[in-house]
Structures are given as structure tokens and as C-alpha cells.
Amino acid sequence: MRRLMTLIRSFLGDRRGNFAIIFALTITPIAIAAAASVDISRAYIVETRLKAALDAAALAVGTASGLTNQQVQQIAQAYFDANYPEEVLGVPGTVIVSDSQTTVDISVKAQLPTVIMGLVGINSLEVGATSQVKRHGKKLEIVLVLDNTGSMNQGGRMTVLKQAAKDLIDTVAAAAVTPGDVRIAIVPFTTDVNVGVANKDANWLKWSWELPTQTCTTTGSGKNKTTTCTQDIRTVSKNSWKGCVVDRDENFDVSIAAPVVGNSATLFPANQNDVYNNQCSLRPIVPFSTNWTMLKNEIDAMVAGGATNTTIGFVWGWQMLTNGAILSNAAAPDPKSLEKVMVYLTDGLNTYDRGGIGTCNGSSACPRVDVRSELVCAGIRNAGITVYTVRLIEGNATLLRNCATNPSMYYSVSTASELTNVFKSIAQALSNLRLSK
């Protein structure tokens, strides 16, 4: 018995075989840990793909407005599913959406079946991802410059325009986090714009101005024959004036330089009621406002009639976006926090301007007006204003494309019904969303 106990003590005290025992005990977890890196790598891939699909869903939800919580949830899930198809790794759960005035938070979790870790009883990994969209990084001032000429009566153009413009107002208004974040102005135009009869005593108006034509009379005969020509003058009565003005004298017609009392060329010519401005049926210009109901009522009240002068529309849209300009209540420029935008629509070729009366008299295309419009557009670009242009069926495509800030902001449609989607696209772009994390 004593010899047996001595043998046991001798075996236990022998250290020569310990390394083999330790190696045997540690090799299994080392091998499992190394193999588990396969599952961890797969989990990282799933997380990356989840995040990409969530970003798409969050942006889609962020551009939506006026929807119920259930509709928002359906949109988010649909966009997520479209960007995370079934054949992709992982089995995602339901997308969770939290929609506040300022942000849209969206998250999802997915179960990833393991390949190696199941050997130690871990049959799946839970992988999660989140995305957030911040609404409206900048404030917006948007002027809608809308063609009210006679051709807008054709094919339901005016009817569709009114609804599309009102829908745009609703969409961008919904993006406002706090009152004043979004403001909208309206400039209806034909050959004229309407500055409102309330301004009839303004010192920036002039009531008598030269036309580019002359009236000539001939008297006598033979050697005594004499022809006398006098400059044609248009004089407008305040009492019958309905608020319309035409282009200023060149080159102030393509400028927003402030009018100077005593300098006739800088003043705005009050115009009479005639066929070219459809008896001044235009609604008055509407300065920037957050009264959405009033703005939509003004759009509903627009009446089509008269000839086309794109220059005056561009000029007064520019005026309304310019701090300190006549009739403008625009804020001072602040590129970091304020975006100034013009949405310009026309449906026809230029046919009239004051400087071309006699040849550009509303009955046929007038290329000289295109040249004047190009000069205005250059000034608008230099002012840093973002311009969207829409050509409805007819109009100078080259002019309108060049007046847009970039070609992607120019739209040309062949039917009035297409305006709905065009204005919807512009409205979504104006929502100015950005991924914040």
C-alpha cells in the first residue's frame, strides 16, 4: 500500500506531460473563435445592407406629407423590402418608424442563422441598424412665376396647373418645422404683371411713356410736300388703371436696379387695359407668405388671357426674391441657412414686349424677347437663385433649359396632365432632406 501511494505521488508530481494536456484543453475554443469570425463577417455584411435599405426607406418617408402613421409605416416597409430582397443574407423583422416634426428615425433588426457558431449552441445572431433623416436643413423662399396667357386655356392647361401648384404648396408647407421656415410668393404674368391698384400713388410708377413707334403726317404736295413724325406716347389714367405694368426702358427691363425718382428710365410704366394683357385680368403679385389658404385661393383665381413676354415674368420673380426690391418682403441673402428658389412655367413662345411694339405685337414669335430673357436669366444666376423651369407643350426649349440652374431642373412636358408629376418632383426636391447620421 505504501508503495502504491508513493507511485501516485510520483505521477502527480511529474510536469513533463502538462503542455500536451493544456494544448488539448485550449485548442477547441481557439478553433471555434477562429471559425466564428466567418459568422461575424457575415453579420457585418448584413448590417451594411440593412443600413443602405433603411436609408432609402427613411428618405422616402421624409419626402411624404399629409399621411397617417399607418401609411408612413407602409411606405417605409415597402421601400425597405424593395432594397433588401429575400435572397439577401438575414431575416429582417418589421421596420420601426418614429416620425417627429424635425426628424424621421427608422430602425430594424434581422436574425442571421450562423454557420459555425451553432457548434457551441449559438444558432443565430441578431443584427440591427438605424437611420435618421433630418427635415429641411435650410429655410426656403419660393416664388411661383406662372404663365397666365391665353394659350393656358387650351387642353385644360390652367386647370391642371392650378391643382399642381396647390399640391406643391401643400408639400413644401408640410416640410416647415417652425413657422416661417417656408415662405411662398406668386407672380402671374402675360405681357404685364399686376402690381396692385393700391400702389397707384407710388413714386416708382410713370403714367406716360414712349412707344417704339412714330405717328407721321404728310401735308402739301409736290415741292411743298412735308412729312412730320412724332414719337408715339402712351398715357394711362390712374382712374381706369387696374394695376398692370410693362417692361421698363432698356436696359432696366432686364434689371432689378432700384427705381430713382427723377430718372424716367428706371420707373415702371403703368399700362392700359388692352388685348395683350387681357384687359389686365391678371391677379396681383403676392409677396412671400405662410398663409397657405390665401396662396391657394390666389392660384385658383388666376385667369388665362393675353400674349407672352417671358422677360417680365423672370424680372418680377427675381424682384420678389430680392431683399429691399419693390414690393418684395424677401429676407436678406444667407446661403448657409436660406435657399431662394424660382419655379417658372410657360406654355408658349414669346410674342410681345414693349420695345418691340409694331413687330412683336402679340401675334407671332418675337426672338428679341428671348434675347432679353437670356440677359435676365444671367443676372438671376449671378444672384445665386435656384431656378426650375417648366416648358408646357410649347416655348423656347433652349432658352428655358439655359435659364434653369442646371439641365436636371428643366422640365418639358407634352401634355397638361404631366404637370402633376413635374410639380410633385420639384416639391420633393425642395423638401431639402439630408441624412443626418
Query: Residue 35: its pLDDT value, please?
Result: 59
Residues 287, 411 within the same domain: yes
Position 7 scores a pLDDT of 46
In a domain, 308, yes or no: yes
The answer to whether 109 and 90 have CB atoms below 8 angstroms apart is no
To which residue does cell 402675360 refer?
A: 190
DSSP E strands, 278-403: 286-289, 338-346, 386-392
Q: Give domain status of residue 6, yes or no.
A: no
| CA torsion through residues 316, 318, 321, 323, sign | negative
In a domain, 220, yes or no: no
CA quadruple 372, 374, 376, 378: dihedral sign: negative
165 and 270 together in one domain = yes
* Exposure string over 370-388, b if 16+ CB within 10 A, otherwise e: bebbbebbeebeeeebbbb
pLDDT at 414: 83
Task: Examine the domain organization and report whether 76 and 120 are in the same domain.
Answer: yes
Is residue 393 within 8 Å of residue 157, measured between CB atoms? yes
The predicted structure's pLDDT at residue 129? 83
Among the candidates 88, 107, 134, a domain finishes at 134
pLDDT at 8: 43
Asked if residues 437 and 428 have their Cβ atoms less than 8 Å apart, the reply is: no
- Separation of alpha carbons 182 and 169, rounded Å: 10
Indicate the residue type of 355: G
One pLDDT digit (tens) per residue for the chain, 437 residues: 455 445 445 544 555 555 545 544 555 565 556 656 777 777 778 788 888 888 888 777 766 655 677 887 888 888 888 887 766 666 777 888 887 666 778 888 888 788 777 666 777 778 788 887 765 567 899 999 999 998 888 888 999 999 999 999 988 887 776 788 899 999 999 999 999 999 999 999 999 988 766 677 777 777 778 777 777 788 999 999 999 999 999 899 999 999 999 999 999 999 999 888 999 999 999 999 999 999 999 999 999 999 989 999 999 999 999 999 999 999 999 888 888 999 999 888 888 877 667 677 767 787 888 889 899 999 999 999 999 999 888 878 898 999 999 988 999 888 888 888 888 888 888 875 444 44
Reduce the DSSP state of residue 228 to 3 states and report it: strand
Domain stops at, among 86, 109, 134 = 134
Q: Would you say residue 215 lies in a domain?
A: no
Q: Which three cell numbers stand for residue 68?
A: 397617417
Q: Which residue range is the domain that position 415 belongs to? A: 139-210+236-435
Tell me: do 173 and 58 sit in the same domain.
no
Q: In whole angstroms, what separates CA 133 from the centre of its chain?
A: 18
Verify that 190 and 306 share a domain, yes or no.
Answer: yes
Q: Considering 73, 104, 134, which residue would you say is the last residue of a domain?
A: 134
Is 8 within a domain?
Answer: no
In angstroms, the Cα distances linking 188 to 27, 101, 218, 267, 290 are: 81, 32, 43, 20, 18
- Is there a contact between 140 and 427 (Cβ–Cβ < 8 Å)? no
3 is a domain residue: no
* Cα 429 to chain centroid, rounded: 5
362, 393: one domain? yes
CATH code for the domain in which residue 250 is found: 3.40.50.410
Q: Does any domain span residue 180? A: yes
Same domain, 194 and 327: yes
Q: How far is CA 401 from CA 31, 376, 395, 406, in A?
A: 65, 14, 11, 8
Closest CA to 344 of 390, 402, 289: 390
